[in-house]
Structure 1
Amino acid sequence: MRWRGRELLDIFESEFRDRPVEYYKTAIEIGNVVVNGKPASTTHVVQNGDVISHTLHRHEPPVTDAPIKVISEDEDMMVICKPSGIPVHPAGRYNYNSVIEILAASRPGWKPLPCNRLDRLTSGVMFIGKHPKAAEELSTQISGRTVRKEYVARVAGKFPDGDVVCAMPILQISPKLGLNRVRASGKPARTVFRRLAYYGPEGEEGADAAGAEDGKAEGRPWVGKKGYSIVRCLPITGRTHQIRVHLQFLGHPITNDPIYSNQRVWGASLGAGDADAMQADEDVITRLARMGKSEVADAVAYHDEMVDDYNKRKAEKMSGELCEVCSTPLYTDPGVQEMGIYLHSLRYEDKDLKWSYRSELPEWALPPGGVEGPREVGGLDEVVDLGRLRELEEGEEEVGEGERKEEQERKMARRKGKKGGQGDREGLAPVETVTLPVALVGEGEATRAPPAAPVVAAVASAPATAAVL
């Protein structure tokens, strides 16, 4: 929808970041990019129903070779556990290294039909239809809000007790960079959180001073903060990056999130509580655009002393070299720590409990060696009272209206304050906490690196086609 009515070159420049705009301009001019099978100019205005095809020498990034596990299967549906680091669909630089292509290659003649989507970096439960009717029926259930979802995340610091409801609206800032932020003008969003476990660092009593000696904490505000939490997450709505954005806002970001837990992008606060966009979107976009290009996408967890020097150095960014065949700028291979984030789709179930599927907890959510802790989860009623959950689900369409009004009032107050030589920032009540109040700033970060996983890569020449809907 967002491509309709826009010029062809503008679409490539704003939507795809793996190649410079000069490449796309040349590709259009020499006929490697066609519209409805015919050459087009860079200023061609894309219309409803147009099919844009781009034939290119493809360079695919490596992905993990962890297996796609089958949780359940019948004649209509396959339920799988997607590994982190693999995109669902061919997109951007990924084609053969995608869930759909890998499954299709495993069973020749079958066209897998995904019924739900997960981000490339996210692992967990997915549904794959074996034929169009089955895929359509389940997709309708999911989009019709008759299915409940549960995720599990590993976040910085000690997450508050009780069930925590974050009802802050979310706005897409840059589809090209995958950036979303809490904003009153965004779409309504609600997520329920509950801490499953908290694991403090060894020698917790002296942890506040650890790392602060010899100037080691200079420029590293997270040093000396305590431990990490495993958090159960129930998204009531389904906004892009909803769980990741809400956890960042609450001050407990996913510890290895390269976007929302990145000090080089957000500064020392890591974006906690920033509903008023005190950091301008343009500044955040500029800094984020450098990640994976001229700079490594360095999340907080990568500063962990337990990540060895090799993994600290080994990360994806532009190498400065060009492909001899197509002159495409080449990237270094990503490090193992970049293959995923600590966010896992744990459970999908019908609201009337006609069916339910869930995976095992991922390795990073299990208790560390020698420490007692939960190794499995119970029902959703352990996260939030089901009667209260129904109330949250029924009220989801009204979420955000009050916040929008408050945001407009704050903006007017700030404008008046600036004119009068003031301009103090007003507070915002971002969350509803049922048991205990919520601390908006996290206490710490993860202390362990993700387990190593082998990777595979592919390079191919292939056409990429996209239809404008």
Structure 2
Amino acid sequence: MALVPSTAEKYPSLPPDEFAKPPSVIITPCDPWPPPYYLEDGLRKVTPYHFTYNTYCKERWRGREILDIFASEFRDRPTEYYEKAIIEGRVVLNGKPVPSTSTTVKNGDIVSHTLHRHEPPVTARPIGIVHEDDDLIVINKPAGVPVHPAGRYNYNSIIEIMRADRGYSFNPLPCNRLDRLTSGIMFIGKHRQAAEDMSAQIRERSVRKEYITRVVGEFPEGEIVCEKPILQISPKLGLNRVRANGKEARTVFKRLAYYPPKDDKKEEKDEQNGEHEGMAWKKLKGYSIVRCFPLTGRTHQLRVHLQYLGHPISNDPIYCNQRVFGPSLGRGHSDAEDDDDIMTRLSRMGKEEIAEAVAYHDEMVDEYNKRKAEKMTGEACEICDTPLYSDPGVHELGIYLHARRYHCEEGRWDYETDLPDWALPPPTMEGPTKPTEESDPLTVDLRKLGLEEDRGQQVPKNTNGSGMTKTAITSDLQAIAGTGG
């Protein structure tokens, strides 16, 4: 396969020294269209194809060796692969071969990497349409599908699936972002002005958001406020944790329903026999459906705050993983002492070990799904020697977190979805099948909680309408976190 250098066109009418000529990049002589999708076993798959990444030097890459950048920033291939790719010319710098694996990258450099791309499968479920007009499409994003091409995903992303459905010239412009594993409402601009207007509304916090989730154990009743700052620990592994030096983050939680275990007597017998020894999460009986009202928009904010409170999302492969966080599942942890150990254990998930959450240790997922999980098969591609993965199980295509409703505070629009299936009452049990006014976080009185000033309102700081201070609320929250609810 030939690699062809490409540069921007010259502008002879401009003074020759007024604009610096951009660095060369590498393009591949192929752009498969329509995308090579095929559906199999409930999954959307992509036939492997050649692809070239062209990336400007990021700020954190400046002055670092090129091999170190690839080895530390990209997870899907071993260091030996990147070393060989640099030596053989599949990785180039500014359109030219890299002299050495120790060559340093500078500001303004463009790194190009051509590879035989193997995309992971995603769900074959269609993208739901909640509303559409001349400016916007409001979608119900399926769980397990990333929004943008990133990492191992390209055609298996929301914007590329929508482009394939509506034509090559269609340019979907996401106005908000959901994690790959999260489902729910997203706004897609049909043109740049519409996307900029909606994105501005969301940035200015004039839009209230409501999420629904399913967590381990009996979540406390009432409005639970978590104000713990969040810090990105590892961009490579996608790990974020509560840290004093992190970015401010605020969430209001309110329980919608609690469903106890099917057989309380069996649970009590297991405890008496010591069956839960070393597995503290097993003492968190049953599960709760919880409404989430984020006042800020940090990466993994809801997942991290729920883990800190001792009630992680029950099928979260990162934050509800005993093999990564130990028997306490990271409840109340806010120091960095064990970060290195946690990152080491997390890096093995999906490689040497199956990335399973604690929910997969019990009857919630049968033995078939426990065995059927994405992991390295030990086989390699005949064309490029890429290690091959098995297909993911159904339980790996998403987590119990859904963006259910977005609401304009000025009352101009209000979009919502039904409760997802996993939030409905289990068989033989009664419970809510739709949100009620009393349990709707969008009716949470922020002034009463002392949080309204954070949304631009003028009220006395650190106090609320009932005389309870924010400090007191936080103290109650810490007590809850200390006991696991």
Question: Which secondary structure state, in structure 2, belongs to the residue aligned with residue 440 of structure 1?
Answer: helix
Question: Which secondary structure state, in structure 2, belongs to the residue aligned with residue 13 of structure 1?
Answer: helix
Contact 1:8 / 1:45 at 8 angstroms: preserved in 2?
A: yes
Q: Name the structure 2 match of 1:96.
A: 155
Deviations 1:215-262, CA, capped at 9 Å, x for gaps: 654554433541111111111111111110000000000001111000
CA distance in 1, matches of 2:98, 2:483: 51
- Fraction of identical pairs, as percent: 62
Q: Name the structure 2 match of 1:407.
A: none
Contact 2:225 / 2:473 at 8 angstroms: preserved in 1?
A: no
Q: Name the structure 2 match of 1:446.
A: none
Q: 1:356 to 1:88 in 2, by over 3 A?
A: same
Deviating beyond 4 angstroms after TM superposition, the runs of 4 or more aligned structure 1 residues are 212-216, 378-383
Give the partner amino acid of 1:393: R
Deviations 1:325-351, CA, capped at 9 Å, x for gaps: 111112222111111111111111222
Give the superposition deviation at 1:430.
9.2
Give the partner amino acid of 1:55: T
Q: 1:149 to 1:38 in 2, by over 3 A?
A: farther
Contact 1:209 / 1:224 at 8 angstroms: preserved in 2?
A: no
Structure having the higher Rg: 2
Deviations 1:382-430, CA, capped at 9 Å, x for gaps: 65214345234349xxx9xxxxxxxxxxxxxxxxxxxxxxxxxxxx999
Q: Name the structure 2 match of 1:431.
A: 474
Q: Name the structure 1 match of 2:229.
A: 169
Question: Which secondary structure state, in structure 2, belongs to the residue aligned with residue 231 of structure 1?
Answer: strand
Contact 2:418 / 2:434 at 8 angstroms: preserved in 1?
A: yes
For 1:140-151, list aligned pairs within 5 A: 140-151=200-211
For 1:362-377, list aligned pairs within 5 A: 362-377=420-435
CA distance in 2, matches of 1:194, 1:377: 11
Could you tell me which of 247, 260, 268 is aligned with 1:209? 268
Q: 1:182 to 1:45 in 2, by over 3 A?
A: same
Q: 1:71 to 1:156 in 2, by over 3 A?
A: same
CA distance in 2, matches of 1:230, 1:432: 24
Contact 1:168 / 1:431 at 8 angstroms: preserved in 2?
A: no
Contact 2:214 / 2:314 at 8 angstroms: preserved in 1?
A: yes
Q: 1:208 to 1:309 in 2, by over 3 A?
A: closer
Q: Name the structure 1 match of 2:129.
A: 70
1:229 aligns with 2:288: yes
Q: Which has the higher contact order (CA 8 A, sep 6+)?
A: 1
For 1:414-425, list aligned pairs within 5 A: none
| 80-89 vs 6-15, which moves further | 6-15
Q: Name the structure 2 match of 1:154.
A: 214
Q: Name the structure 2 match of 1:422.
A: none
CA distance in 1, matches of 2:441, 2:389: 46
The TM-score with structure 1 as length reference comes to 0.81
Could you tell me which of 310, 317, 333 is aligned with 1:274? 333
Could you tell me which of 391, 412, 415 is aligned with 1:357? 415
Give the superposition deviation at 1:142.
1.5
Contact 2:374 / 2:391 at 8 angstroms: preserved in 1?
A: yes
The TM-score with structure 2 as length reference comes to 0.79
Give the superposition deviation at 1:48.
4.1
For 1:37-436, list aligned pairs within 5 A: 37-41=95-99, 42-108=101-167, 109-204=169-264, 206-212=265-271, 216-217=275-276, 219-223=278-282, 225-277=284-336, 279-378=337-436, 380=440, 384-388=444-448, 389-394=451-456, 431=474, 433=476
Contact 1:3 / 1:46 at 8 angstroms: preserved in 2?
A: no
Aligned residues: CA RMSD: 2.6
Contact 1:292 / 1:318 at 8 angstroms: preserved in 2?
A: yes
Q: Name the structure 2 match of 1:425.
A: none
Contact 2:210 / 2:441 at 8 angstroms: preserved in 1?
A: no
Contact 1:211 / 1:224 at 8 angstroms: preserved in 2?
A: no
CA distance in 1, matches of 2:160, 2:179: 16
CA distance in 2, matches of 1:244, 1:58: 30
Give the partner amino acid of 2:313: I
CA distance in 2, matches of 1:381, 1:119: 21
Contact 1:3 / 1:11 at 8 angstroms: preserved in 2?
A: no
CA distance in 1, matches of 2:381, 2:390: 12
Q: How many residues align?
A: 411
Q: 1:46 to 1:130 in 2, by over 3 A?
A: farther
Q: 1:46 to 1:74 in 2, by over 3 A?
A: farther
Deviations 1:171-196, CA, capped at 9 Å, x for gaps: 11100001111111111111111101
Question: Which secondary structure state, in structure 1, belongs to the residue aligned with residue 118 of structure 2?
Answer: strand
Structure 2: any 5+ residue segments left out of the alignment? 1-57, 462-470
Give the superposition deviation at 1:4.
4.3
Contact 1:164 / 1:438 at 8 angstroms: preserved in 2?
A: no
Q: 1:38 to 1:145 in 2, by over 3 A?
A: farther
Q: Name the structure 2 match of 1:465.
A: none
